Amino acid sequence: MSSTPRFVAVPLSLLARLTTPRTALLASLAIMWLNYALTSRWAHIPGSIHGPKQPFFLMALVVATVGAARTRGIGRPVRMPLISRLAFAASVAMLGAAFVSWFPPSSWTQIPFLDNWPPRYQGTIDGVRLLRRGAFVGWEWSFLGGYHSSSDISQNLALLAFLPIQLLGERPGFHLLHALLFAAVPALIYVDLRLDENQKELAVLGGALGGVIAGNYSYFLVRSGDTNSLAGAVCVLVAITGSHAARRGRAWGGPCLLLGLVLTIYSHVGFFSYAALYLLLEGLLYRDRRAIRRLLLALAVALVAGSPLTWESWRYRSYFLANNLIYRGGGAIDWPDVLAKFYYNVEILFRPGRWFNDYGGLTNVFLPVFALVAWRDRSRARFHAWAALFTVALLRFNLPPFAYVFLRPVHMLAIFAGPVLALFILRFAGTRWLALVIVLLVALYIQISFVPVPHVSSVRDFDAALVDRIRQADGALVLVENSPHRNMNATPGGETERSPFQTHFEPLLRDATGRRLYAGFWDGWQWCPWRGEVVAGGTFDGHAIGDTPPALFAREMKRWGIRRLLVWSDSTKRYLASHALFVRRWDRGPWAEFDFKAPDVRDVVTAHGAGRIVQFDPLGASIDLDGVAAGDPIIVRTHFHPSWTARVDGMPLALADSNGQIRFTAPRSGSYRVELRYPRRRGLTVFAGFVLVAGVIAVETLLRSHP
């Protein structure tokens, strides 16, 4: 008789039964049935399981369920190398066809024009132009009153796009970068799994399913233009593959690990933290102390190598706001609200009717399978299973105090799901026909959109009259109301007026008009302290514009030398029309132009004489002063940042902060030029490169050393 107490033996016996391949598969299929039955309201979404593919999906689900219940031999491995190769070829062909449908070759000479695509494109092009000048960051003069691009730490595709753009030019190179990112997903999954001996078929099928699941990025990322998350996920996968190769003693493993980590920092700093967590999980899972030491070294090297991008955020912390979800940080945390949202995040795991047929929903459906693989397998797919389960846990912490830090890991599920499902199919399906049905079921479940991304040759295609009004307007800055797709009203219960536009066109206005704009570059709050200096969807400074005292708003217009205001929301139009200081001059479609009647339109404010900005770019500006008096305060209408320096005839000139703008004292009377300079930080870049090279050597040395 067993000496194990009954209250322990019974749960252990039940757990053993629940972790058999058959019960795990049946449990997953039962969850999929619930998910299918409760999500019919999403039939209109392209790629939905209730759309045109419903009969095929339903047939596959019925056959898989009957097979899982009645097929003998479930739990035994199957071999189907030909089917796996055909699946890989079909997956790559599907992903290629999908990409061509999103971005037809004829569109590669144009600009994507949907949701976040314009700022994604313009930010990438601006970054590449800076790289050509030997700098990673600079000053964005034309938005938010001028701000430091180093604060856009999760928005930069410049380093990844540099070679494609150098080869093909700006617009074709931007599209080529995205084609390479999509192609990298199945390719890297294959390489990662293939590093294990005798796992070629797993690598092929894992890559095939990974390619299919990556097609679901079309719904989250292609439709929104948030492909910084795609870049982050691919770079993390590069680091994971490099770490695995290093564990296997491959000479390229260490450099690949470092390359992935460094590219992750330059593409999306948030994903760098995920990479660190996943690689630490890998070291703990394999109980590999040397891998953990190698990881710690690689992380330290990558942080230094990424410092040309991140240095300003570390050095001048008050000029970087880490949470771009909460408008005003530093306040007390509403713990009841946080706990309620945490409860909801946990509760949703038990509500299949709330899941889309995306990679998040797919992972939730197959959680019993993921748990089984994590518990019983010893191949590389086991790491992917643990990483997926860890990601599901991280997503529960998608809470306001953490901004989007614990939302973005969801995109890693598209990476981890394929290897786990491929392993289960090959090791436990028992028969080829059931294995094939499960492959088809996964492929049919995943939601893929083939809708093209709209493109334009220039922002004039969007609204030529608006572009002309901005170009012809006078004033130091021109106010253009932003088109937010997020709620920018920070007042509890406040709402932003719905935008009539399907895209954030604002970044393209800069080059098309040559004007500096009182507007934001990105959607919603940014990571710099001036993110509230924008009118957007009937809001100003994070509140309904109607709640803003007219004197305060007029003072803000004077501070920036604004005469013309172009607005589209009904709330903003009513607000401006109700105050005598603003006169309506022009209307076209949703747009109205107002004149501010008491402006000071100078871009350089002087007590005597005159001043003006004669030229500016991301690394500096030239200020011409005419007839000024020595000792006069001079105000340059752009934001102050400690990185700025100034010189007159080669001599340094002290700069100060005056109501958020750059101020200096005229060093002498007369007419002369002041040169403002934003640092390239060449020394830091050289040092970061030296540390990266030394780090590669150090990681290789550690790789070759004995455990």
Tokens 């209109």, located at residue: 44
Express each pLDDT in 385-411 by its tens digit.
Answer: 999 999 999 999 988 878 778 888 999
The pLDDT score that the predictor gives to residue 523 is 77
| Same-domain pairing of 385 and 533 | no
% the chain with pLDDT above 90: 84
Rounded-to-integer distance, Cα 206 and Cα 385, Å: 12
% the chain with pLDDT above 70: 96
Secondary structure string (H, E, C) spanning 230-254:
HHHHHHHHHHHHHHHHHHCCCCCHH
The pLDDT score that the predictor gives to residue 264 is 96
Express each pLDDT in 370-387 by its tens digit.
Answer: 999 998 888 999 999 999
Rounded-to-integer distance, Cα 675 and Cα 649, Å: 9
CATH number of the domain at 630, please.
2.60.40
Determine, yes or no, domain membership for 147. no
Residue 125 is inside which H or E element, if any? helix 117-132
- Of 206, 205, 279, 210, the residue nearest 238 (C-alpha): 279
CB within 8 Å of 70: residues ≥ 6 apart: none
Residue 129 has pLDDT above 60, yes or no: yes
The pLDDT score that the predictor gives to residue 661 is 98
Question: Domain end: 596, 627, 647, which one?
Answer: 596
Rounded-to-integer distance, Cα 32 and Cα 217, Å: 21
Rounded-to-integer distance, Cα 490 and Cα 507, Å: 24
Judge whether 458 and 512 are in contact, CB under 8 Å.
yes
| Same-domain pairing of 378 and 511 | no
What mean pLDDT value characterizes the chain? 93
Side chain identity, residue 634: I
Residue 329 has pLDDT above 70, yes or no: no
Determine, yes or no, domain membership for 685. no
The pLDDT score that the predictor gives to residue 107 is 97
Exposed/middle/buried for residue 705 (C-beta within 10 Å: 0-12, 13-18, 19+): exposed
The pLDDT score that the predictor gives to residue 2 is 44
Rounded-to-integer distance, Cα 106 and Cα 89, Å: 25
The pLDDT score that the predictor gives to residue 9 is 56
| Same-domain pairing of 193 and 215 | yes
Cα separation values, 410 from 73, 117, 183, 671, Å: 34, 21, 20, 58
Determine, yes or no, domain membership for 541. yes
Question: Domain end: 596, 617, 632, which one?
Answer: 596
The pLDDT score that the predictor gives to residue 476 is 95
Strand extents, DSSP E, 351-470: 455-456
Determine, yes or no, domain membership for 302. yes
| Same-domain pairing of 396 and 532 | no
Express each pLDDT in 337-362 by its tens digit.
Answer: 889 999 999 999 999 999 999 999 99
If you count DSSP H runs as helices and E runs as strands, how many of each does the chain have, helices first?
A: 25, 21
Express each pLDDT in 199-223 by its tens digit.
Answer: 999 999 999 999 999 999 999 899 9
Determine, yes or no, domain membership for 414. yes
Give the domain range for residue 42: 6-102+153-320+336-445
Sheet holding 477-480, edge to edge: 517-518, 477-480, 562-567, 591-596, 582-588
The pLDDT score that the predictor gives to residue 526 is 83
The pLDDT score that the predictor gives to residue 514 is 95
Judge whether 491 and 532 are in contact, CB under 8 Å.
no
Express each pLDDT in 23-80 by its tens digit.
Answer: 999 999 999 999 999 999 999 888 999 999 999 999 999 999 999 999 888 999 999 9
What's the structural domain count of the chain? 3
Express each pLDDT in 171-184 by its tens digit.
Answer: 999 999 999 999 99
Query: What global pTM score does this model have?
Result: 0.94
Express each pLDDT in 637-687 by its tens digit.
Answer: 999 999 999 999 999 999 999 999 999 999 999 999 999 999 999 999 999
Per-residue pLDDT band at 14 (split at 50, 70, 90):
low
CB within 8 Å of 132: residues ≥ 6 apart: none
Determine, yes or no, domain membership for 143. no
Express each pLDDT in 569-619 by its tens digit.
Answer: 999 999 999 999 999 999 999 999 999 998 899 999 999 999 999 999 999
